[in-house]
Structure 1
Amino acid sequence: MRAIRLSTGAVLAALLLSLTACVPATNPVVSASPTPTPTLEPTAEPTAAAVTSIEITTLSLDVYSDDTMTDSWLHADRNPAEITALTEYFGTEPTVSSDTRPGEGADSTYEIQSWPGFEIRYIVSEFGPRGFFITATAATVGGVPIRAAGGVQVGDDLQALAASDPTAASTVPTPDGDLFRVKVDQIPVDSEGFDGPAADFVAVQSLEPFTTVTTIRAPVSNYGL
């Protein structure tokens, strides 16, 4: 039999073909899509803390957001910033009026800034309008709770409050009838010639039948000033 001789080139070509057939097919490379960058929403500017209560003390009117005092004004000279802030808190402009009452030696004239259930009364003197007292006749004004120092509000049980401190309770005659009041947030005052302990305080009070608190007023004194 005649031997078949293959050329070297043919052998190499056949070997290369067989190796290629043995290599498994690879998956095509797929380039990953770029991850989208999240869009940042603009951050809202911080707003003023919400008013949760207004407290009437002997010395001042204090505004709170939860347990944090955010504003405070002394019962002194008229402060336009106080009226501006209260207008914002209560949501309405105050009614401005005046009142003249007879006094010893001379009549007293008052300028009054009032909202339903709340008023600030200034006595008009040669020095201009000065803080005289604040009166609240509602538990909330414009949705804002109003309280006396210690947390008492209009509508609370006046007799229960008096029973908790009988020495702070008293009855005062007025042109409108007897007024029953309980003194809270008392601050002792040196008053020469006054018979008894003199003090400034917040009056939590009611006309007859003396059952619930109808009025909170400050500052009030018991030494005739």
Structure 2
Amino acid sequence: MRILRFVFLLFLAVTPVRALNILPNSSFEYWIDTLGVHMPLGWITSEPLYPGSAVKSTESHTGLYCVKLTGGDTAAFVSTITIVRPDYHYHFSGWAKVPSLIGGSFILQFTKLLGEPIGTPEMLPAFHSSDYREYDRWVTAPESAVFLSVSFAAIPTATVYLDDVTLEDTAIIGIEEYQTTKTSEPHPDPRKVIAPVGITRTLEPLNSGSILYDPLGRRVCPDRLRPGVYFILRKR
């Protein structure tokens, strides 16, 4: 029987760690069904307006799923937003596979508290590629910035596969995410979690087959952790 244990860790990791990704569901592994519209958790898409324009696909770069954008008579898009801090530096990265000649563009737009755009957006056009290609850029939040909108818009008639869209806050140290594969077990469904089983102040030895997740649902490496809250999916 599998038991999901809630563990509070208060120990210091001595192995190297990396900057923290602050975009939700960056690998498009989680999808929700709202009023019959299937969308990636934490993102809005063109799917409610144009059915079939933004759908789940298994042609992923990593993990099990990605998002497939298909531009018809109009552009298809996927978009999310995150909080930023003025004058801080962020590293954006997104992977795209574009079977058509030109696919569209990543769009990064800083905004004020009420959504007013600040300056001109950063554009990263995505061009034809037979496999996934990374598009990345360093950006600095303006003094009045509160949010950063991260989007991809596919031009009409184009087909684009998107995966692993991240924004790393270089001032925050995060934990290394476990790289899932197409043959890996999917992450646990958070809707099936009723309550934590127990709380402890120290990390208990992991049983063989135990899997560790962070609060965002990302599978992480047990030997590369910082103090924080984690979930253990334990087999017995």
Q: Which has the higher strand share?
A: 2
Q: Which has the higher helix share?
A: 1
Select the structure of larger CA radius of gyration. Answer: 1
TM-score per shorter chain, which class? under 0.3
TM-score by length of 1: 0.26
Structure scoring higher RCO (CA < 8 A, sep ≥ 6) equals 2
